[in-house]
Amino acid sequence: MIQFFRGFVPGIFVMLFCLVFSPLYLTAAEGQEYIAIRKEGAGNIALVLDKLDARGRKETRFAQSLDATMHDGLDFTKLFSLISPPLNVKDISDRKNVVINFPALTSVGAEVYAGGVVTMKSDMIILDMKVYEAAGSKLLLNKTYTGTEANLRSVGHAFCADLVELLTGKKSVFGSKIVFVSNKTGFKEIYQCDFDGYGVEQLTNSKSISMNPTLSPDGKNLAYIDFTSGRPTLYIKNLNGGRTAAVGKSAVSIDPGWRNNNELAATLSFDGNQEIYLVNSDGTLSRRVTNSKSIDISPTFSPDGSKMAFVSSRNGLPQIFIQDIASGQVKRLTFSGRYNTQPSWSPAGDKIVYTTWEKGGEINIFTINADGSGLLQLTQRCGENKSPSWSPNGDMIVFTSNRQGREKLYVMNSKGGDERVLLQVDGEQTQPSWSLFR
């Protein structure tokens, strides 16, 4: 079996990032198309990420910082085997014409080489990166990234994002955010951090109970549940300094999930029963979706919004069902396990991740194909593992675990490997939700 990786070689391409408030902008590169051939299941990409060249004290300091950012960022993805550069990897006797020693690279098993130069122009830091295929010495990427010292991390991650897209053909985690609940102040409040746990920021300060945060696909709105009014109420907060809309029906609101940028779904119980409703992002009700005398909660949508997975106790114990939004037709998805909750539909649309509360008291994470086939257990024998949420490219899953005592955020790959702590901060962290945007 052969897998094709698509990439592009841009021509001379200088991009100025205005990074102060705008998100990273990745341009579809121009130039000739490159296709690398790798055996499927070949594992990680063997990469030599060379130390950046720099002259001058400031430049050297920024280069070292970028080295660390790019190394840690690429390592976080677990897509690469990072190989130390061989000593004779390049000949820099002529600075204008650096010669890369490709035989030395292939002899250490490198498939790809990435290196670059850091220079400065007034206060702007300029990172020129080149990526080569080691065997064949073909130039795969030649791109300039520019930013200020304040957003050096974003500059490094912009290159990491391009490299991952170039070599895997898929979008990366770089630039994405994770929202979650933490009780470190003594109250459950909502926080966000970068994909790698960096830059934790508190988003609510209600000194009540805030729960189940989830970002709209465009990242402009945060939906969450909050008890400030005395009862669990659905709020939709505009993160660009706009207003916060409360869904103004009494009774109880539970666990929102976005269908698209303008519409989300949540359980509301104002008619006496827990039913799922579609709600507009301004907080007005659109329409009711479920109709059963039992509990219906935790809506999560297929990428095109046509189908909704959710939890229902209509057959007695909580199980996951899929409802076609247009026809209303419902199909039961899970048949294994007696208590299946917390579904999250993958960004590619093929899988649903959820948790099973097992007899022995463990809670474990499983994935299942949207057609009910391919059940896969991702966690085992490590306490309660809850609230799984996909990374924007579906490569990784963020979740909570109490395996070391208190509940903390962890990440793993979509098959359950590479499990590790995301964030070491005080208190307990729960209910993480990964943004779709990057």
Residues in contact with another protein by the rule CB under 8 A: 188, 209, 211-212, 225, 227, 230-232, 251-252, 254-255, 267, 269, 272-274, 295, 297-298, 311, 317-318, 339, 341-342, 355, 357, 361, 363, 386-387, 430-431
Minimum CB distance to another protein smaller for 317 or for 348:
317
Q: How far is the CB of 147 from another protein (least distance, A)?
A: 40
Whole-angstrom distance, CA of residue 255 vs CA of residue 134: 49
- Name the residue nearer to another protein (CB basis): 211 or 398: 211
Task: Give the list of residues 6+ apart from residue 203 with CB closer than 8 angstroms, or none.
Answer: 179, 189, 190, 191, 192, 213, 222, 237, 239
- Which is closer to another protein, CB of 100 or CB of 251? 251
Closer residue to another protein (CB): 106 or 273? 273
Give 117 or 225: the residue with its C-beta nearer to another protein: 225
Closer CB to another protein, 231 or 332, in the complex: 231
**Dihedral sign (CA 348, 240, 398, 162):** positive
Return d(Cα 178, Cα 391) in angstroms, integer.
9
What's the min distance (Å) between Cβ of 436 and another protein? Answer: 20
CB of 295 to another protein, least distance (A): 4
CB of 274 to another protein, least distance (A): 5
- Residue number with CB closer to another protein (160 or 311): 311
Q: Closest distance between another protein and the C-beta of residue 269, in Å?
A: 5
Q: To the nearest whole angstrom, how small is the minimum distance from the Cβ of residue 405 to another protein? A: 13
Side-chain half-sphere CA neighbours of 45 within 13 A:
25
How many residues comprise the chain?
Answer: 438
CB nearer another protein, residue 270 or residue 437: 270
Alpha-carbon distance of 275 to 265, in angstroms, equals 10
Q: How far is the CB of 410 from another protein (least distance, A)?
A: 16
> 414 and 396 in contact (C-beta within 8 Å)?
yes
Output the smallest distance, CB 285 to another protein, in A: 18
Q: 214 vs 281, which CB is nearer to another protein?
A: 214
Whether 184 contacts 201, CB under 8 Å:
no
Instruction: Give the nearest distance from C-beta 313 to another protein in angstroms.
Output: 8
Query: Which among 46, 31, 50 has a CA at the least distance from the CA of 118?
Result: 50
**Secondary element (H or E) of residue 344:** strand 340-345
Rounded distance between C-alpha atoms, residue 68 and residue 51, angstroms = 10
Helix (H) or strand (E) holding 57: helix 57-77
Helices (H), ranges, 109-240: 152-168
Give the separation between CA 433 and CA 192, rounded to whole angstroms: 9
E strands of 346-438, at which residues?
Answer: 351-357, 363-369, 376-377, 385-390, 396-401, 408-413, 420-421, 429-434
Torsion of CA 148, 154, 157, 162, to 10 degrees: -80
Task: Return the structure tokens found at 154.
Answer: 């974003």
